[in-house]
Structure formats: structure tokens, C-alpha cells
Amino acid sequence: MCGRYAATKDPATIAREFDALDEVTDTEAAPGPSYNVAPTRPVTTVVRRHPRAEDGTVLTTEAASRRVRGMVWGLVPSWAKDPSIGQRMINARAETVATKPAFRKAVARRRCLVPADGWFEWLRGSGEGRRPAKQPYYMTARDGTSLAFAGIWETWRDPELPSTASPTVTCSVLTTDAVGALADIHHRMPLLMPPHLWDEWLDPDSGDVAELLAPPAADVVERLEIRPVSERVGNVRNNGPELIERIDVDGAQQRAQQHAQQQVPLFDTGGTGMP
């Protein structure tokens, strides 16, 4: 699954990287840089849509273009009674997205890309010594380019508000079976969409993307760095570059074993009594 990721680039930078128009105009609602993006938070996405006239009519004579838009992570179907359902719909399985009632209309016509610096997964460990029971890992592109998660989106209107009120736009990240070394961390992973498939995935005039729902090719995963990171990322209140810095897992385990055997302080407390 994908339940936490990092996205630190502003919409203008994403627009340049994805060759898109920046349509994130509401600066107050715009997603800010985050090293710990959590469900139900605003996120930056990329869609491909036809231009529209002032009355909303689609100008089908003009080609669809990529556009950067802000959404909320956690898909809320148009028929939902309230938006709380989005908390349970942050991910959609690629294997069943075309048949599930909550997702099938979106995957047919409303697909998006969710740009990310990288994402986190937790490997279940022994919990012995000072090693956490679940060790977080950060997956990111070795060359520093953004990853593109395959996503779907929907609009939801609050029945308590006037019909003229702006709808809530939400999205879900597709997941698939983990590939290559990623399977050693977690059995699921975000469905990564390589650049040469962006237009096909985003095409608003095509409803058949079955071939794109397969796990990514091995070479896509081989370009990733898998990095053990601090367990601090598990707390959504923590948010800083230290969350994606590599830690020495083996070294930490070795020090813990020495501490248990020799009963010596594991850290220099500096007289404060706290590590």
C-alpha cells in the first residue's frame, strides 16, 4: 500500500517537470512542501483535460493538455453522503479498480498522476534491542526526478451547500504487486507510471487502460534507491528533511547488542539523563 509519501516541489516546479500548465491558483489551499504527506491532506496532481468555455462547455476541437491541480488525498465518490469515506479510500488496487463501484467510473474517465519525491513502507522486524518492530524505508528515484503515482480522481458536492459552491476534488493512489527488491520491504507498491506512458494514462478520451494497470517493468524499479530511515516518520506531526535521511540500521542494532551485553550507556547523555 501507499499510506505516506514525500512531496516537496511546488506546483510551478511540478508544472515544468511534467510539461503542464499550473492551475493551482488558490494559494491558501495549495499543497505546501511536505516530507510526510498523510491521507486527507491537500496534494498536487497532474491531469490532462480539454479546454473549456466560460460556461463550462468542453472545447473538443482543442487538444487536451496537462494541467497541475490541487486535490485532497482520499477519494470521495460523487454519491457519498459525506466526505469521511475518503479516509478509507486513499488507495485503489490496480487489479480491481475497473470493477469496484467506487472506482470504476473514475478509472474510465478521471485519471491523474500524483507526483512524489518518494514514498515510505514499513518492514516488520523483530523488535529486539532498540530496533523498531517495524522499520520504515524510503523509496526514491536515484536521479532526484519526481516519481509519478497512477491515480484517479472524483468530485463531490456537499448537499448542505448551494449548488454554486465549488466541489471537493479528491484522489486515490493505485497500488499493485511489489516488483523486484521492493517485495522484500512490502508486498504492495504504488503503481508507478513512467514518462512515456503519461499521456496514455491521462488521456480523457480513452476509457480502456487495462494494459497500463500491470505492475511496472523491472527497469522502473531498478532506478529506485531503497533507504532505511528514522521511525519518526510514523508520527504525522514530524515533518522535515531528516525523515528521508538514511540511517545505519545495522549499526544501530550492533550498538543495541553491545549495550545489552556490557550494560554501558548507549548514548552520551551529556549529564541530562536523556538520549
CATH of the domain at 43: 3.90.1680.10
Boundaries of domain holding 236 = 5-262
Give the mean model confidence (pLDDT) for residues 62-70: 89
User: So what's the pLDDT on residue 73?
Assistant: 97
Beta carbons of 75 and 171 less than 8 angstroms apart: yes
Nearest CA-CA partner of 39 in 79, 77, 83, 91: 91
User: So what's the pLDDT on residue 210?
Assistant: 95
C-alpha span between 37 and 31 (Å, rounded): 10
- What nine digits make up the cell of 118? 518518494
Q: Which of 2, 112, 154, 171 is catalytic?
A: 2
Torsion angle defined by CA atoms of residues 99, 105, 110 and 114, in that order, rounded to the nearest 10 degrees: -40
Give the mean model confidence (pLDDT) for residues 86-111: 96
Q: Which of 112, 121, 154, 171 is catalytic?
A: 121
Higher pLDDT, 115 or 208: 115
Does residue 269 form part of some domain? Answer: no
User: Does residue 2 carry a catalytic annotation?
Assistant: yes
Residues 6+ positions from 71 with CB-CB distance below 8 Å: 42, 43, 45, 112, 153, 169, 170, 171
Does residue 275 form part of some domain? Answer: no
Does residue 82 form part of some domain? Answer: yes
Does residue 125 form part of some domain? Answer: yes
Task: Give the chain's mean pLDDT.
Answer: 86
Does residue 170 form part of some domain? Answer: yes
User: So what's the pLDDT on residue 53?
Assistant: 60
User: So what's the pLDDT on residue 267?
Assistant: 31
Q: What is the pLDDT of residues 217-230, one digit of tens each?
A: 999 999 999 999 99
Does residue 273 form part of some domain? Answer: no
Q: What is the pLDDT of residues 109-148, one digit of tens each?
A: 999 999 999 999 999 865 555 556 789 999 999 999 999 9
User: So what's the pLDDT on residue 56?
Assistant: 55
Give the mean model confidence (pLDDT) for residues 200-215: 94
Please name the amino acid found at residue 197: L
C-alpha span between 178 and 167 (Å, rounded): 34
Higher pLDDT, 57 or 95: 95
Does residue 268 form part of some domain? Answer: no
Does residue 89 form part of some domain? Answer: yes
By the 10 Å C-beta count (0-12 exposed, 13-18 middle, 19+ buried), 203 is classed as: middle
- What nine digits make up the cell of 209? 487502460
Give the mean model confidence (pLDDT) for residues 9-13: 94
Give the mean model confidence (pLDDT) for residues 73-85: 93
- Checking if the pLDDT of 1 tops 70, the result is no
pLDDT bucket at 266, cuts 50 / 70 / 90 = very low
- Checking if the pLDDT of 253 tops 90, the result is no
User: Does residue 171 carry a catalytic annotation?
Assistant: no
Backbone angles phi, psi at 14, to 5 degrees: -60, -40
Q: What is the pLDDT of residues 148-180, one digit of tens each?
A: 999 999 999 988 888 888 889 999 999 999 999
Q: What is the pLDDT of residues 17-65, one digit of tens each?
A: 999 999 987 655 667 899 999 999 999 999 998 876 655 566 665 678 9
Domains contained in the chain, number: 1
Alpha-helical (H) ranges within the chain are 11-17, 104-109, 198-202, 218-222, 249-262
Percent of all residues in the chain with a pLDDT value above 70, rounded to a whole number: 81
Strands 21-22 and 65-73, bridge-based pairing: parallel
pLDDT bucket at 270, cuts 50 / 70 / 90 = very low
